[in-house]
Structure 1
Amino acid sequence: MRERLPFKTLFAVPLHCEGCINGVKNALSQVEGILNVDCHLEQQLVEVEGTAAPSRISASLQKIGKDCILRGSGNANSAAVCILETHAPGVVNPVRGLARLVQVGTEFTIIDISLRGLAPGIYQASIRQNGDISRGAASTGGAWEEDTKGGEARGKLGQIEVSNEGSGAIIIDVGIAIWELIGRSMVLSSSTEGFQQGDEATLVGVIARSAGVWENDKVVCSCSGKTVWEERVEQTGKGML
């Protein structure tokens, strides 16, 4: 596997003083792969450079009581996101996972998947042929670029183990460019194929382009009039990671 190249990640983080900045820097110094941390007090932003996955960075900040919102990763046109939901009927909070994708080299992408609220066990992660989720995972087609000669499909990403607490995470390095994935779907399921729309143990979402570093300066949503932090509270209540 190729060596990861450093990339930048930008988080909105509540910062009130130099003590906050020192606390953030001390916490992130413990995360493997981080090369540099710049804190912008006036803008309430933390810029991180290195090879650490965004989920590792946010988890480290949350451990010291700092909430954070990812505002951008990598260069322009090099990042994507996929919200993973169950399509089972009657589920109050269908969002059970989030995948963040960052291209860090030519045809070299990090896929950072976090899950929660699932039954314990082994789940298969895959990129599907299309982005049709009208019937959940059942309408997404086969695994992307299935090898007709019997080899492994490019879309098969591997397994994720979900703990007894219902959470799981994995960071996968793949030889794929971001542009190849935009508009396709991602599926996480305890089954490898033959997905059922009403299966609560099957998650699906469409991969969408997301902002690179410094490409997203929104503070207030023009649609709802809510700040990014108000939206954060609302989305967290719906199960968003």
Structure 2
Amino acid sequence: MTCEGCVKDVSTTLSKLDGIKKVEANLKDQLVFVEGTAPPSSIVTAIQNTGRDAILRGSGTTDSSAVCILETHSTTVANKIRGLARMVQVSPNMTLVDLTINGLSSGKYYATIREAGDISRGAESTGSIWESLKNKVLGSDATAPVEKEPRGIFGTVDVDNEGRGNVFLDRPVAVWELIGRSMVVGKSKEGPFQREDENTLVGVIARSAGVWDNDKMVCSCSGKNVWQERQEQVSQGMA
């Protein structure tokens, strides 16, 4: 943002989003404070639609946030990063998931959490759906098993003809339960998955910084500032 006109443009655009309660833009610090329930991805997209770019500097509070970079393991694909899942725990047993996909063929995809975090062979090596073997309980007659949906089934996302998809999910899980496991996004919920299927994505879930926990402007490992890193991510297909 370079002037008060920019501040007004960004603020007006964000105020129109569903779930936004309050917007405060600071020209001097180049920061926009947003209060509400809109998915982070929709906020970034709205700012981009004004002709500007934006970087999400953290979600939630310390130890309540996680992120998963989703990639295809197909050896025939150059830009392997095809998606991003941001996770924020909002209560002891509820986590919000903001899932964005870019570059897949159109259709319906399932997002599942897997038992293992081994992605050495792509989705093939991630194991079964998390808790799929623990959700059998006895029925009312104490004889017939009743199948409960595993908590590892997070939901579905529809990808349009341009290869883009976005969904905002809520699941009864805590972030600490997910760390180190993997997320798979594919047209099949159960599998089996093929490593060379470019439309099957997988990534390991890792902790991410909470709001204001990461105030770096230059990465010590690469020497690049956050905007240079952002440009590299965009070039690789990561929103």
How does the TM-score come out when normalised to structure 2? 0.92
2:14 is equivalent to residue 28 of structure 1 = yes
Contact persistence 2:97–2:168 (CA under 8 A)? yes
Partners of 1:72 and 1:20 in 2: CA distance = 23
User: What is the match of residue 17 of structure 1?
Assistant: 3
Give 1:38 deviation, angstroms.
2.3
* Deviation sequence 1:28-86 (CA, Å, 0-9, x none): 11011111222232221212111111011111111111200110111111111111100
* Deviation sequence 1:178-234 (CA, Å, 0-9, x none): 111111100000112211111111100011111111111110111111111111111
Partners of 2:62 and 2:2 in 1: CA distance = 30
| Match of residue 116, structure 1, among 102, 109, 115 | 102
Contact persistence 2:61–2:211 (CA under 8 A)? yes
2:216 is equivalent to residue 230 of structure 1 = no
* Deviation sequence 1:152-173 (CA, Å, 0-9, x none): 1110012211111111111111
Give the percent of matched residue pairs that are identical in Structure 1 and Structure 2.
Answer: 56
2:176 is equivalent to residue 176 of structure 1 = no
Which deviates the most, 16-25 or 211-220? 16-25
User: What is the match of residue 24 of structure 2?
Assistant: 38
User: What is the match of residue 69 of structure 1?
Assistant: 55
SS state of the match for residue 69, structure 1? coil
User: What is the match of residue 6 of structure 1?
Assistant: none
Return the letter of the residue paired with 2:167: I
- How much is the aligned-residue C-alpha RMSD, in angstroms? 1.1
Partners of 1:104 and 1:56 in 2: CA distance = 19
Partners of 1:124 and 1:213 in 2: CA distance = 29
* Deviation sequence 1:117-140 (CA, Å, 0-9, x none): 111111111011111101101111
Deviation above 6 Å: which 4+ runs of structure 1? Answer: none
User: What is the match of residue 85 of structure 2?
Assistant: 99
Return the letter of the residue paired with 1:225: G
How does the TM-score come out when normalised to structure 1? 0.91
Partners of 1:175 and 1:49 in 2: CA distance = 23
Q: Which structure would you say has the larger Rg?
A: 2
Partners of 1:55 and 1:72 in 2: CA distance = 12
Return the letter of the residue paired with 2:119: I
Return the letter of the residue paired with 2:223: G
Structure 1 residue runs without a partner (length 5+): 1-14
